[in-house]
Amino acid sequence: MAEERLQKILARAGIASRRNAEALISAGRVSVDGRKVTELGAKADPRASRIEVDGRRLVAEPLVYVVLHKPRAVVSTLSDPEGRRTVADLVRDVPARVAPVGRLDYHTSGALLMTNDGEFASRIAHPRLGAPKVYVAKVKGEVKDADLERWTESITIEGRATRPAEVTRLRYEGDKTWLEITLREGRNRQVRRLGERSGFPVMRLARLSHAGISSEGLRPGEWRYLTSDELTDLKQAFGVPHRVRAAPAPPIAKGRPQLRQRAVKGAGAKPGRAPQGVRSTHPAPVGRPGRGAQGARSTHPAPVGRPGRAAQGARSTHPAPVGRPGRAPQATRAGRPPPVARSARSGQKQQPPAGEARGRSSAKARARTNRR
């Protein structure tokens, strides 16, 4: 996103009117990337810069976290110079510009996390934190016990040794074997290279889950929001700092900034604890189930011990039904063992998380109080 004037960014985030935002800036209550800004012409990039008002971080747009069931034959970038279909085409109705957390090969299907929270994405993708990525690979040949070892050996990719994978044989059929492979890093074509190296070329590859988040129950091309439980667990596990979206506007009275919600001594709100009524990091419901992907079958292979919780039945972070598909691509039958029984998604009622509902009503109550 391009740079914009700070007062415009603050106003759009609901912090204050532009004029009052200017007063906040002049009063030295706004900082950009840790540096206090008092100049009214100052600009910032709301996506790239850390903008704070009274020490509370401003998030310029709602933070959105989704998991997409990436189909095969789609690139996991937001644009493609060769004009191929991209994951951006599949998340057009997500109400924010979400980007993939890591990559899946063009021919790999399965769980792809996408978010506009850069900090979250970099924590999940951080090699030191080793978020598990669980794949099922259909490989050519019969992988015997003795062969399995070779799949767990380190290989060198772009001059660096990989961490050993964890590998389990699920089954074989004829001269094909299905393996479950867990990686804890995101190296280019790692599973396919492992297959080449061990003499069992990968015929089909699907990611079951990333950091415990599964795309089970989604048809290829569909996405869903992470549930509030999933998000809380991930943020805890990966140390994602708590962020505040558009903390309650510290309004300006007669040119002097004051806090709205309660009388606070001194000029500024206390940083740190999230103020009451802080708005949820979640966007408004999308409520767009879209067209069903008729006849499309899951590309997920047979169930295996999945890490993490399945999303079904869990509360969504959004009231909307599970994401919408564009038209689902052709079923990818050949690559799978028997498909997983999918959860019944339709009609599943998803409540906004309690905190969100509370946040909204208390914000309303406060607004009423403030008008009085």
State the residues that interact with ligand URA by CB under 6 A.
Answer: 104-105, 108, 189-192, 205
Min dist CB 330 to ligand URA, Å, is 19
Start-to-end CA distance of the chain, whole Å, equals 39
Cβ count within 10 A of residue 208: 25
What six digits make up the tokens of 165? Answer: 């994978």
**What angle (nearest 5°) sits at the alpha carbon of residue 319, between those of residues 315 and 321?**
90
* Identity of residue 186: G
- Going by C-alpha positions, the residue among 289, 270, 279, 132 that lies closest to residue 207 is 132
**Rounded to the nearest 5°, which phi and psi values hold at 232?**
-60, -45
Min dist CB 173 to ligand URA, Å, is 22
Tell me the helix, strand and coil percentages in the chain, rounded to 5. Answer: 20, 20, 60
- For this structure, is 105 an active site residue? yes
Element (H, E) at 190: helix 190-198
Min dist CB 179 to ligand URA, Å, is 12
Catalytically annotated residue among 80, 105, 229, 233: 105
Number of H helices, E strands in the chain: 8, 19
Min dist CB 198 to ligand URA, Å, is 13
* Identity of residue 310: A
Place of tokens 């999230």: 274
CA–CA gap between residue 195 and residue 199 (Å, rounded): 6
For the chain, what is the largest distance between any 2 Cα atoms, rounded to a whole number of angstroms? Answer: 80
Place of tokens 């500024």: 268
Min dist CB 190 to ligand URA, Å, is 4
What residues does 207 pair with on adjacent strands? Answer: 110, 135
Classify each residue of 229-243 as buried b or exposed e, where b means 16 or more C-beta atoms within 10 Å of its C-beta: ebbebbbeebebeeb
Q: Cβ closer to ligand URA: 56 or 69?
A: 69
Min dist CB 191 to ligand URA, Å, is 4
Active site residues: 105
